[in-house]
Amino acid sequence: MAMDLDEPFDVKAAAEKGEAALRRLRDTDPAFYLSPSADLAAAAREASKHLYSSLVPFSPAQPPLLSNLLAGPAFDVEQIWS
């Protein structure tokens, strides 16, 4: 899902979505993490983006090195080991 740069970015909605993803990850039974899940992967990406964007204002490097976390749906976590 690509971000449309022409649409205004709703910070409050993004924060709520990120917090919901964090709650979902926290409340999920640990056994579900032992098998692949597209839903959990999407929630983890959303939670990671939320955490990153929450911490960017506290970064000593301004502007931040990355404006947003590069963890889209095409991100392959195994690629770093190749």
Q: Tell me if 2 is assigned to some domain.
A: no
By residue range, what is the domain housing residue 53?
9-60
Q: Tell me if 43 is assigned to some domain.
A: yes
pLDDT at 80: 59
Q: Tell me if 69 is assigned to some domain.
A: no
Rounded mean pLDDT for each run of 10 residues along the chain, 82 residues in total: 51 88 95 92 89 84 73 69 56
pLDDT at 21: 94
Is the Cβ–Cβ distance between 56 and 64 less than 8 Å? yes
pLDDT at 56: 82
pLDDT at 20: 95
Q: In the chain, what's the furthest Cα-to-Cα distance?
A: 41
pTM of this prediction? 0.69
Q: Tell me if 39 is assigned to some domain.
A: yes
- Per DSSP, 2 falls in state -
Closest CA to 44 of 65, 66, 26: 26
Number of structural domains, the chain? 1
